[in-house]
Chain A
Amino acid sequence: MFRLPCSPSRVAVVPKARHIAVPKARRVITGVVACAAVVLGAAACSGGGTAQDTAVGNGSSFVAGSYSTTVFKPGSRPAAPAVSAKTLTGTNWQLSADRGHVVVLNFWGSWCTPCREEAPALGALAQHFSADGVRFVGIDIRDDPASAQAFMRKFRISYPSLNDPNDQIALDFHGTAPPAGIPTTLVIDQSGRIAARVIGKASYNGLKALIAQVSAGHS
């Protein structure tokens, strides 16, 4: 056991009174100043959100996905919510009607660069898996229907897309595996459970392997 040079015996030599009369008051004041400064400093650090006067500071103006894939094991797949909406062409669509099929839900927008990048792969995969009964559905976010339909013509997307002007469908997935950026792709298994979530641009091979895995896992 070591002993500090300033062991209690040393302290006793120092007249205690000296510590009391003045320095204590000074320390209290220093403490007050420091605490006030800390509070102010912290307020300055955290007050950025409301102080921002530009309407749209971020140039890209949407929350881009951070490229991550989550695969849920068959036992721990969260149940997909009931999704019911109109497609861009005005027909009603329900997720529950596709029970028994693997459903690939793709959140996209015609204005979003990674969505445009992944669109050819999604279109090709929809063709590839159509014989296996895999259903593809897009969910068009923050878009006008005219642009969305032009997009689908341009990329020859044959599967339907749902119109979701107030983000209701994204909200429906709250508490399950919510889309955490645009694009987000969800793979839903035959029993209506979320088997995988891809945030960010999906690659042809990566998504193909996922769909094949979910498809095979049940049948």
Chain B
Amino acid sequence: MTGRAAPEKVTRDQAAPEESPAPDDVLLDTGDQAPPRPVAGARLGVAGWLRWGWRQLTSMRTALILLFLLAVGSVPGSLLPQQGINPAGVSDYYATHRLLAPVLGHLSLFNVFGAPWYAAIYLLLFASLVGCVLPRTVRMALTARQPPPRAPRHVSRLPFSVSYTTALAPEAALESASRLLSGRRFRLRTGPGWVSAEKGYLRDAGNLLFHIALLGVLVSIGLGGLFGYKANRLLVEGTSFSNTVTALDEFHPGRLVSPGDLQPFSVTLNRFRASYVTSGILTGQPAAFDAAISYTATPQARARSYTLSVNHPLKVDGVRVFLIGHGFAPTFRVTDGTGHVVFSGPVPFIPVETSGLTSDGAIKVPDADPEQLGFAGVFLPTAVDVNGQLESAFPAPLHPVVSLVSYAGNLGMNSGPSQSVFSLDTAGLHRLPVAPRPLAVGQSMKLPNGLGTLTYTGYRQWISLAITYDPGQMPALISGIAVLAGLLLSFLVRRRRVFVRATAGEGGGTVVEAGGLTRSDAAGGFEDEFAGLAAELRRQHQDGPGAPGPGDVRAPTDSPVASQEAAPTGSSVASQEAAPTGSSVASQEAIPTDSSLASTEGE
């Protein structure tokens, strides 16, 4: 005997022809049925196919498949270099895979997240989810407002039932039952000779909340994608930048973001401090990063101080500015062959390893005369000689040294594609015959042929900042919490229905039948609730005006064994804990079998 078969019996019973045309099912159907599927071979018009297509699209299975495709589709995005993030990597790929690269390029595999096929997947997914959630939400809303269904004709066939006789008139008995049930916050519906009550609407409220919040999550994500943006900026100590497109290293705007939409704040990096563990096996590991900054929220606003650290972003005007990296920017002064200072300032070098923060970088002097000059090399925060090889032993600048290779010729900056500021394109350059001698702060390197001089004047530190603006973040969080809350409600709360019928008995008195029903798969606890309710109801009916006669228990019509041969005193002991008076608490299983003692075990 399973829970599935049990309600079916009741349904059939309820659908019996003599039953009044009750639109409601006795069972706890929340109106959520699978869309009927078309039968193969049947004729469909254009509209029919459209409807069929829409049903397929909005089915949960399709949504899952699309979700899977979305995940699979993003795989090449992480395996292949992407145009927006690493254009140099894409060029390299084209150079090394001459045959394959154009094919991949045609498939937009170098710009996966902007590819039409990728957009098709996520738009379909969005449509699928909205198409699935919206109708459900409407259905849920209607269900939540539904009154309880009519009482079934045979209340005693319900999974839980009790019957007894009382001296009260049927109307009075029903009246008192209504009072009891509404006192326990049941929603009531009454009819001739019956009272129908339902409780646990919070379940549907929870379900509704879940669905609406799910839509909220989708909309929030959409908001972020349309109006949000992400940007990166490298900032050297002692310098400032403003949140404007020309000042950003990278800018990934949402679809509806224009340059004028950026929040006009400015940030100055006053000082950056990285502390490292100096003893033990963790020597060289970072202990803390702090960036002392000052910022203005708008050009007119007063400057404020702030200390940026990892996971402690600056929040300004709804934008969050994260500290995501740091490094060194040695400062140089370059004098060209004509004696002019043609370069003077910090040059950010990019760390290539973390234990000693050895960093790579390039200095480009495109306006030197008589020839353009370029230098490429490394910065070593704590330079040590290991078998004739220079290495950095510690990430803090204890002995900061640079070692550079010098070039002259054409830097390739006067025309052609934009190039990285962190590396030299040596195609048009020739290497100058200068031994790459490591320079300490203050030391100079004279170039041959009167081309000029480079001086290593010192170093500063830089930080890299991730600037993110996501207007959908807070709505997404709230929606996410609401999703969970709704889910919990709909899992923890049960819909319970109680029906009471009172009819005049053959031998005088009134026969009261009460039945209870809940979702079979979440029934734990309802048995006790119903038993308590039934006992209370019976007590009220016995205590009511008019002396209680001996209880006359009537058996359910088609299960004569249920309590017919029970004690003639009108007490049928139906449940385990022998109810001392005329009450029969029978469970669903009891009805078809010849035992009135069964309970709902096994559910």
CB within 8 Å of B: which residues of A? Answer: 2, 4-6, 10-11, 15-25, 27-28, 30-32, 34-35, 37-39, 41-42, 44-46, 48-50, 52-64, 107, 110-114, 116-117, 141-142, 144-147, 150-151, 153-154, 165-168, 170-172, 174-176, 178-182, 184
Q: Is the CB of B422 within 8 A of A4?
A: no
Chain B residues contacting A62 (CB-CB under 8 Å) are 246, 248-249, 418, 421
Q: Does B47 belong to the interface (CB within 8 Å)?
A: yes
Q: Is the CB of A15 within 8 A of B232?
A: no
Q: Is the CB of B466 within 8 A of A23?
A: no
Most buried by B among A11, A17, A53, A116: A17
A144 to B8, CA, bound (A): 83
Q: Is the CB of A165 within 8 A of B7?
A: no
Q: Is the CB of A49 within 8 A of B325?
A: no
A46 to B70, CA, bound (A): 13
Q: Is the CB of B260 within 8 A of A46?
A: no
CB-contact partner of A110 in B29, B67, B367, B483, under 8 A: B367
For B240, the closest partner residue in chain A by CB is A166
A-B residue pairs, 8 tightest by C-beta: A6-B36, A166-B240, A49-B230, A144-B345, A150-B367, A59-B420, A59-B88, A55-B325
Segment of B184-192, B270-278, B335-343, B545-553 engaged in the interface with chain A: B335-343
Number of inter-chain CB pairs below 8 Å: 280
Interface size range on B against A: 35 or more
Q: Is the CB of A21 within 8 A of B260?
A: no
Q: Is the CB of A4 within 8 A of B38?
A: yes
Mark contacts of B52-77 with chain A using CB atoms, 8 A cut-off: 1 yes-contact digit, 0 otherwise. 00000000100110010011001000
A38 to B333, CA, bound (A): 54
Q: Is the CB of B74 within 8 A of A17?
A: no
Chain A residues contacting B260 (CB-CB under 8 Å) are 174-176, 178
For B25, the closest partner residue in chain A by CB is A16
Q: Is the CB of A49 within 8 A of B67?
A: no
Q: Is the CB of A16 within 8 A of B29?
A: yes
Q: How far is the CB of A197 from chain B (nearest CB, A)?
A: 10
CB-contact partner of B34 in A23, A25, A113, A154, under 8 A: A23
Within 8 A of A (CB), among B117-156: 125, 129
Q: Is the CB of A16 within 8 A of B232?
A: no
Chain B residues contacting A23 (CB-CB under 8 Å) are 34
A110 to B345, CA, bound (A): 13
Q: Is the CB of A116 within 8 A of B240?
A: no
CB-contact partner of A167 in B39, B247, B367, B521, under 8 A: B247
Q: Is the CB of B466 within 8 A of A52?
A: yes
CB-contact partner of A2 in B48, B421, B464, under 8 A: B48
Q: Is the CB of B470 within 8 A of A46?
A: yes
Within 8 A of A (CB), among B10-32: 10-12, 25, 27-30, 32
Q: How far is the CB of B259 from chain A (nearest CB, A)?
A: 4
Chain A residues contacting B420 (CB-CB under 8 Å) are 59-61
A126 to B321, CA, bound (A): 40
Q: Is the CB of B345 within 8 A of A49?
A: no
A61 to B129, CA, bound (A): 39
Q: Is the CB of B4 within 8 A of A61?
A: no
Chain A residues contacting B74 (CB-CB under 8 Å) are 44-45
Q: How far is the CB of B367 from chain A (nearest CB, A)?
A: 4
Q: Is the CB of A2 within 8 A of B45?
A: yes
Q: Is the CB of A52 within 8 A of B324?
A: yes
Within 8 A of A (CB), among B216-241: 217-218, 221, 224-225, 230-232, 234, 239-241
Q: Is the CB of A18 within 8 A of B4?
A: yes
Q: Does B110 belong to the interface (CB within 8 Å)?
A: no
Q: Is the CB of A41 within 8 A of B51?
A: no
Given contacts A31-B60, A34-B60, A59-B86, A4 and B327 within 8 Å (CB-CB)? no
Q: How far is the CB of B113 from chain A (nearest CB, A)?
A: 7
Q: Is the CB of B250 within 8 A of A58?
A: yes
Q: Does B44 belong to the interface (CB within 8 Å)?
A: yes
A47 to B275, CA, bound (A): 28
Mark contacts of B190-233 with chain A using CB atoms, 8 A cut-off: 1 yes-contact digit, 0 otherwise. 00000000000000000000000010011001001100001110
CB-contact partner of A170 in B11, B244, B258, under 8 A: B244
